[in-house]
Amino acid sequence: MDRFAFLLKRPIQLIPVLLGISLITFVLIQLTPGDPVRIMLGPKASEDAIAFVRARYGLDQPILVQYFYFLLNAIRGDFGQSIIYRSPVGPVILDRMAPTLFLILYGLALSVAFTLGLAIAAARSRGRWVDQFVRLVCVSSVGIPSYFMGLMLILGLCLKLKLFPVSGYAPTLIDNLYHLFLPALTIAIGVTPILTRNLRATFLQQMDADYATAGRSKGLPERYIFGRHVFWNSLLPTVNLMGVVVSFLIGGTVVIENVFNIPGLGQALIRAVLTRDYFVVQAVTLVLACGIVITNFIVDVVTVVLDPRVKL
Amino acid sequence: MDRRSFLKATAYAASLASLPGIAFSARAADSKILRMGYGSDVLTLDPIKTVYGSDIIIQGMMFARLLQANADRSEVGPGLAEKWDISEDGKTYTFYLRDAKFSDGSPITAEDVAFSYTRMRFQKDSAYAAPFQPLKEAKAKDAKTVVFTLDRRFTPFLTLTEIWNTGIVPKAAVEKMGDDAYAKAPVTSGPFKFVEWKPGDRVVLARNEHYYKEGLPHLDGLEFRYVADDNTRVSMLQAGEIDVCIGYPVARQPELKAAGFRADADISSVTYDMLINHSKAPFDNLKFRQAISHGIDRQAIADAVTLGSGRPATSIFSPELNFFDKSLPLIQRDVEKAKGLLADSGVADPSFELLVSAGIADDEKTAVLVQAQLAEIGITVTVSKIDSTSVWTRLIDGDYQAELNWWYNETRDPDNALRWCAWGAGDNKSYYTRYNNEEVNKLIDEAAGETDDAKRGALYAQIQKICVDEVAQVAMFHPNWLNGYSPKVKDLILNIGLQFSEIDQTDLV
């Protein structure tokens, strides 16, 4: 089979995965105690008003009937109404995808830059002070919760030094490179140590490999061996690890979005779960699940590109 | 371009873009846009569907009412209505409207007022029709005169005409747009008009040029932002990204004050209390309830939770309300007396589960204090922290023993408050405590129909005494609203009823 045949197979495999996720989410959130209509209408509403609104959203039907209608509508591209906002879910979610996507990509870009810099510096100076320093930084920053890190950055860089804004998502790309720098940095501080340790270890392993020794014996300069061979041969495990990290990040943006007040999917999900806004929970979960599946897919593609021996 | 120069250019662009100190989305220097941050999201812009703090606050900026409360809400005065008559039998209220316009320039007529009230009182999904039950009919007599007919004498009615859900909406626009569309982009009657609403992010308002008060509001516009995290909101105030921080953790008060922010608490009508389920053991036992009431130290809890700005509770409603009985003494903590009451109660297993909404710092702190204080008199309290929606469901279903909660009253008239927390005949069963005393129910109705202030006062005193003696709820303290204001904000306070009632006179300097 052609190396890239999985490109076609993947979307088909995706269908049962998403169906399973949607069914589980639907049943779980509906079984959680709490009624979105009561939240929407508030403590002062009469029983009549509550029954009236419940019927309007079809929430008086059995769960499986509701799920059936949800599926039927979803196939037509209609993900239902947000009960709390009284408006279609689609636009609510779409508005919030951009900030989250931007934040994750920005955070990853910083992480990759930091990781490459740190891992190369450490590996090339194995055992010397630069290496020791990088390892110390990695060990000491790996356990800091992003909530705490975010608050510390706000305190130091926003309130004391007044270098960055505390909050927000701006309308333009350039604005956002500035506005979302701290949240992206928070992500990078969380992710970089994990990736750096992995990449440094692989570099070292590859630098000791036979082909590198062979290169040295031929008198090739160390710089050439590293840049031409070791570097490229070492990327694969880190790319795979990055796939896992991104999957975690997709869930982890919830915290970062709250600390930096970014109107993204994570914030929407928290709110929807707390208010039992069933259809929003459903839609956001599906979007996030798709995000994870797509990430894995990209990792697969990159793996195939990097290593011609790999077949999927 | 070769690879090296491409990388160079990219790095250069990136470093330029992240150059610190460039405030890209700062407020233009000459525009007076007031930016507020609040921890609860705006859910609807339709006054009759509004129940949450965020929506209640914003209604006051968008809609004018027949009458308007002054800043301390001590009295109501003319609003859209210049004057009014009340019939001899107290059942007919006639309001005479001034010349005023909606934000689209169309005139506000008696027809619009009748429509707004009929909708609020009779539409099925109106969220807060309960206080208006006596209203039988609202009718336009002519273009500027509107007549309300009540089915009984009901004194609190006049003050109710200034609460948020009586905001006057245009009949033509609502009918043309339909409820759902109107709630997303309303035509308004108050100081500000609607510009934009991004759910989960912000509502943007602009000065309404057609506002009935000449030359007001002073502000050009207003941005109402949803900032979920309390500490982020405080940081944004400190960094100048918002001008008003509505609600902040009390622990941040000294720091805000030291930095020159106005963080003096605005007076509220809030009562913070422990709701107890009268239909469940051990709270169906009067002596047990009294043991608890004597076993907690209200002053200590108020001091700890509000850093001294709150007042310990002596009655079940706030001292800010009319007819509050000042003669009621503060129940002092008395361990021996509480132990005696507990022994008299005959409760074999003096323990209960106290529900707390997870993540609310004040509730968690209070729960620990209550737990420790009651342990000393021999009552074991198990604190259960669960998410607020689940707490809410259990309250409504009656599936709880005790829970920490708070509530406030919209007006200074106590009728609303008492129907909310002690009137067993209501839909909410005395705020889900299931407290139901026929005599109290009767007295509340009687007081609402009384026009003589002295007689009303006597009736309310009687009600308060019974509720305290029977421990209808364990009222603990009255906190203030905790809002932080930038020194640039002039003439703005949140009144007891959760409204910035003088927002039209607020200025930024």
B243 vs A36, higher pLDDT: B243
Q: Could you say which of B14, B198, B241 has the minimum Cβ distance to residue A165? A: B241
Q: Is residue B12 pLDDT above 80, yes or no?
A: no
| Confidence class for position B161, pLDDT limits 50, 70, 90 | very high
Does residue B19 carry a pLDDT above 70?
no
The 8-class DSSP code of residue B240 comes to T
Per-chain mean pLDDT for chain A: 84
Looking at chain B, the whole-number percentage of residues with pLDDT higher than 70 is 93
With CA atoms as reference, report the closest residue to B97 among B57, B135, B64. Answer: B64
Q: Residue A224: how many CB atoms within 10 A of its CB?
A: 11
Nearest CA among B417, B446, B500 for reference residue A44:
B417
Q: Does B238 touch chain A (CB under 8 A)?
A: yes
Per-residue confidence at B23, pLDDT binned at 50, 70, 90?
very low
pLDDT value of position B4: 46
pLDDT at B10 over 60: no
Judge residue B509's burial from the number of C-beta atoms within 10 Å of its C-beta, 0-12 exposed, 13-18 middle, 19 or more buried. exposed
Alpha helices in B285-324 (DSSP H): 286-295, 298-306
Place of tokens 């106590």: B414
Q: Is the pLDDT of residue B256 over 90?
A: yes
Check if B41 contacts A (Cβ < 8 Å): yes
DSSP secondary structure letter of residue B26? P
Q: Do B124 and A49 touch (CB under 8 A)?
A: yes
Assess whether pLDDT exceeds 60 at residue A141: yes
Question: Residue B74: pLDDT band by 50, 70, 90 thresholds?
Answer: low
Paired tokens of A124: 């090339």
Between B61 and A171, the more confident residue is B61
Measured between CA atoms, the residue of chain B closest to residue A96 is B200
Q: How far apart are CA B492 and CA B191, in angstroms?
A: 14
Q: Judge whether residue A112 has pLDDT over 50.
A: yes
**Sorting pLDDT into bands at 50, 70 and 90, what band is A52?**
confident
Which of B473, B136, B158 is closest to B316 using CA atoms?
B473
pLDDT of residue A3: 64
Rounded distance, CA B309 to CA B248, Å? 14
Q: Which of B34, B44, B74 is nearest to B191 (CA)?
A: B34
- pLDDT at site A234: 86
- Would you tell me which residues 376-395 of chain B have a C-beta closer than 8 angstroms to some C-beta of chain A? 387-390, 392-394
Which of B21, B24, B236 lies closest to A166 in CB terms? Answer: B236
CB pairs under 8 A between A and B: 143
Nearest to B457 by CA among B267, B326, B313: B326
Residue A16, pLDDT score: 85
The minimal CB distance from A42 to the residues B127, B387, B394 is found for: B127
Across the interface, of A49, A168, A258, the residue whose CB is closest to B25 is A168
Q: Which of B133, B232, B397 to probe the A interface (max A CBs under 10 A)?
A: B232
Closest CA in chain A for residue B48: A41
Rounded-to-integer distance, Cα A45 and Cα A174, Å: 46
Q: Average per-residue pLDDT in chain B?
A: 90
Query: Could you say which residues from 87 to 126 on chain B have a Cβ atom under 8 Å away from some Cβ of chain A?
Result: 124-126
- Find the helix or strand (DSSP H, E) in which B384 lies: strand B380-386
Residue spans of the domains in chain A: they are: 18-76, 91-306
Instruction: Measure the CA–CA gap between B399 and A54, rounded to whole angstroms.
Output: 22
Mean pLDDT is lowest, of A9-13, A307-311, B87-91, for A307-311
Nearest 5°: CA angle at B30, between B228 and B264? 45
Å between B153 CA and nearest CA of chain A:
23
Tell whether B43 lies on the interface with A, counting CB pairs under 8 A: yes
B177-201 residue pLDDT tens: 999 899 999 999 999 999 999 888 8
Of the pLDDT bands very low, low, confident and very high (cuts 50, 70, 90), residue B222 is: very high
- pLDDT of residue A271 exceeding 80, the answer is yes
Residue A274 in this model has a pLDDT that exceeds 60: yes
* Confidence check: pLDDT of B251 > 60: yes
Report the alpha-carbon distance of residue B454 to residue B123 in Å, rounded: 36
Q: Is the pLDDT of residue B2 over 80?
A: no
Q: Do A179 and B229 touch (CB under 8 A)?
A: no
Q: What is the pLDDT of residue A277?
A: 85
A45, B128: Cβ pair inside 8 Å? yes
pLDDT of residue B27: 57
Whether this prediction's pTM lies above 0.90 is answered by: no
Amino acid at A146: S
ipTM given for this complex: 0.80
Determine what percent of chain A is predicted with pLDDT higher than 90. Answer: 8
Q: How many CB atoms lie within 10 A of CB A173?
A: 9
Q: Give the pLDDT of residue B15.
A: 44
With bands split at pLDDT 50, 70 and 90, how would you rate the model's confidence at B259?
very high
Q: How many helices (H) and strands (E) does chain A have?
A: 14, 2
Residue in A with minimal Cα distance to B431: A43
Residues of chain A contacting residue B388, judged by C-beta atoms under 8 Å apart = 274
How far, in Å, are A45, A92, A256, B21, B265 from residue B25 at the CA level? Answer: 40, 23, 21, 12, 30
Residue B3's pLDDT is 42
How far away is chain A from the Cα of B373, in angstroms, using its nearest Cα?
30
Select from B501, B508, B506, B414 the least CA-distant residue to B190.
B501
d(CA B396, CA B414): 23
**Option in A32, A85, A158 nearest B239 (CB):** A158
* A44/B130 CB distance under 8 A: yes
pLDDT at A86: 80
If one looks up domain A91-306 in CATH, what number appears?
1.10.3720.10
Helix axis angle for B286-295 and B361-375, nearest 10°, is: 110
Beta carbons of B393 and A38 less than 8 Å apart: yes
Nearest to B48 by CA among B150, B179, B192, B159: B179
Would the CB atoms of B183 and A271 count as touching at under 8 Å? no
Mean pLDDT of B439-461: 94
How many CA within 13 A on the CB side of residue A59?
A: 24
- pLDDT one-digit tens code per residue, B295-328: 999 999 999 999 888 999 999 999 999 999 999 9
Largest CA distance in chain B: 92
Tell me the β-bridge partners of A88. Answer: A81
- Tokens (6 digits) for B432: 């889900």
Beta bridge partners of B508: B489
Under DSSP, is residue A118 helix (H, G, I), strand (E, B) or coil? helix
Give the pair of three-digit tokens for residue A212. 């590198």
Which of A108-117, B121-130, B364-373 has the lowest average pLDDT?
Answer: B121-130
For residues B235-260, b (16+ Cβ closer than 10 Å) or e, as one string? bbbbbbbbbbbbbbebebbeebeeee
Which chain A residues are Cβ-neighbours of B44 within 8 angstroms? 86
Q: Residue B427: its chain A contacts at CB < 8 A?
A: 46-47
Q: What's the 3-state SS for B246-285?
A: ECCCHHHHHHHHHCCCECCCECCCCEEEEEECCCCCCCCC
How far apart, in whole angstroms, are the C-alpha atoms of residue B381 and residue B361? Answer: 18
Give B 152-211 residues with CB within 8 A of chain A.
180, 183-184, 198-201
Q: Are A39 and A32 in contact, with CB atoms under 8 Å apart?
A: no
A34/B25 touch (CB, cutoff 8 Å), yes or no? no
Does B18 score more than 50 pLDDT? no
Q: Closest approach of chain A CAs to the CA of B204, in angstroms?
A: 15
CA atoms within 13 A on the CB side of B451: 10
Q: How far is B88 from chain A (nearest CA, A)?
A: 32
Residue A92 to residue B427, Cβ atoms within 8 A: no
Helix/strand/coil (H, E, C) string of B68-114?
Answer: EECCCCCCEEECCEEEEEECCCCCEEEEEECCCECCCCCECCHHHHH
B19 touches chain A (CB under 8 A): yes
Handedness of CA B404, B409, B413, B419 (dihedral sign): negative
- The mean per-residue pLDDT over the stretch B11-32 comes to 50
Note whether B82 contacts A: Cβ–Cβ < 8 A: no
Predicted confidence (pLDDT) at residue A239 exceeds the cutoff of 50: yes
Cβ proximity of B479 and B271 under 8 Å: no
Going by the DSSP 8-state scheme, the letter that residue A32 receives in this structure is: S
| Whole-number pLDDT of residue A311 | 64
